[in-house]
Structure 1
Amino acid sequence: MRPGDKVPSENQLAEQFSVSRMTARRALTDLVNEGILLRSQGLGTFVSDHRPMSSMLEITSIDDEIMKRGHQYSNRVLTQKQLLASAPQARMLGVEVNELIYSTKIVHLENNVPIQLENRLVNPSYAPQYIDQDFSSITANRYLNKVAPLTEADHVVEAIVPTQEISDALEVTLQQPCLLVSRRTFSAKGIVSFANLYHPGNRYRLGGHLDFHSSN
C-alpha cells in the first residue's frame, strides 16, 4: 500500500486474517503508534507518509538514526583527500586561503538505499588524523565528536534541485527536489568542520520539538 491509501476496517481485517476484532484493533493501534498508519476521526485509517525523520535540534550520527529505526546502515566513501582551501572554503573553516584542509564525500544508505550525501570539509588543526580514518567502520560525525567534542553548531536548511553529481550519488532524477542541510560545527577551540548534507526529498524529512518554559 502507498501513503494515503485507506486501510481496511477492523472487521474487514479480522475476517480477512481469521483473527478476533480485538487482535485486529491492537495491530492497527500498534502501527498508528509507530507512525506507519494515521487515524482520521470519521474518515478511517490511512497509510502515513512514513519517511525517515531527523531532528533539526540535535546532531546525531546518521548510523544511529538508521539503526534506531530497525534498519540496516551502510555507506560508500566517494572521496577522501587533502586539498588547499579556496577562499569560500577558508571562510567556512576560519583558515587561511591555500591552507591545507581535509575533504570527504560519503554516501549513507538505509537498507541499501541512498539517504544522504555528505560533503564535508575538516580543519586539520582539530582533527589531524581525520584523513587516515576508515569511514566504513565509523562515521565522520562520530569520529569528530570523539577527537574534538562539539560545543555548538549552526545550520541552514533549503530545498534544491540536484546537480548531476548529487543525482548520481543519491540515485534520483535531476528533477527530484532534495533537502540540503549546510552545517558548521565548533569545538571549544574553534571551527571543526563544515558539511553540506544532501537528502532525497521523497525519502527524508526534518523535524523537531520545542519546549518553552516560563522563566517566572
Structure 2
Amino acid sequence: MARPAPRYLEIQQHILAKIQRGEWPTDHRIPGEEQLALDFNVSRMTANKAIRELVQRGYLTRQPGAGTFVTERKAESSLMEVHNIAEEVRGRGHHYRARVQRAEAIDASEDIALQLGVKRGSKVFHTRIVHHENDEPIQLELRYVNPRHVPDYLDADFTLTTPHQVLIQTWPITDIEHVVEAVSADTRQAEELAISTSLPCLQLRRRTWSNDLLISYAVLIHPGDRYKLRSAWKD
C-alpha cells in the first residue's frame, strides 16, 4: 500500500497550480505560513518547509517584513543532464516555439572538425535554431551532427521537434561534455535573441556520445538575464 505524500508537498502542489494557471502572477503575495498551516491543517513548520523549498527552486522570493511573493523565474537547465528544451518550457506551464534559421550540410571548419572528430572539410549537418519561451528567445542553438551516424537528421521538421528528440531516437546519450563561459553576443546573435550586444550571455558548449560514438557538438547561447544553469551532486 502506497504511503500518502508528505503534507508539505500538498502545499507546494497547491501553490504551483495557482502559479501555472496564472491565478498567482509574478509579484503576487501568497498567503503567509500561518494561513497555509491553518488552511491545510498542518504545523507552521510544515508550511515553512513547503515555502522554503519553493524559494530555493526559484518559484518564490521572500521580502522581510512584506511577505512571500511569486517571482519571475529564469529558464533553467541542468549541467548534469541533457533535457529536451521544449519539455522544459512546457513543464513550466509556458508556450514553446522554435524558429529555424538554418538546416543544411556544410563543410566542417577546423574547429568544428576537431570538436566533432571528423576531417576538416568533410560534410557535417548544421542547424541554427532560436528557441522561444512565451515568444521570448531564451536560447540560440548551433548544432553540428555527424551525418554518418544520423543520415536523416535534416529531414526532420524542427518547428515540430527538437534536435535532441531526433538524436536520442537513434542514439541514446551515454556521455556528455560541457564547457560553460560568459560571452558577449555578436551582432547577428544579439538580433536573433532580441538583446543588446552589451548584455552578457551564458554560452554552453556540449558534446554528446552514444557509447563510443561522438554524435553531435552544440553551442548553446542564452541571454544572461533570462537563463541560468544548475548543477547538483549527491553522494
Aligned to 1:194: 217
**Is 1:60 matched with 2:73?**
no
Residues 130 and 193, structure 2, Cα contact 8 Å, conserved in 1:
yes
Task: Figure out how many residues of one structure are paired with residues of the other and give that number.
Answer: 200
2:35 maps to a residue whose letter is M
Provide the identity percentage: 37
CA deviation profile, 1:95-147 (whole Å, cap 9, x unmatched) = 11111111000000001110000000110011001012111111001110111
Aligned to 1:168: 191
Equivalent positions of 1:32-181 (< 5 A) are 33=54, 35-39=58-62, 44-45=67-68, 48=71, 50-181=73-204
Structure 1 moving runs of 4+ over 4 Å: 5-10, 23-26, 28-32, 40-44, 46-49
Q: Helix, strand or coil for the counterpart of 2:88?
A: helix
Change (3 A) 1:177 1:148: same
Residues 122 and 192, structure 1, Cα contact 8 Å, conserved in 2:
yes
Aligned to 2:229: 206
Aligned to 2:35: 22
Whole-angstrom distance in 2 between the partners of 1:138 and 1:36: 28
Residue 41 of structure 1 deviates from its aligned partner by 6.5
Residues 99 and 159, structure 2, Cα contact 8 Å, conserved in 1:
yes
2:157 maps to a residue whose letter is D
Q: Helix, strand or coil for the counterpart of 2:167?
A: helix
Change (3 A) 1:118 1:8: closer
Q: TM-score, normalised by structure 1?
A: 0.82
Whole-angstrom distance in 1 between the partners of 2:106 and 2:58: 44
CA deviation profile, 1:139-182 (whole Å, cap 9, x unmatched) = 00111011122110101011111101110110000111110000
Q: TM-score, normalised by structure 2?
A: 0.75
Whole-angstrom distance in 1 between the partners of 2:190 and 2:215: 28
Q: Helix, strand or coil for the counterpart of 2:169?
A: helix
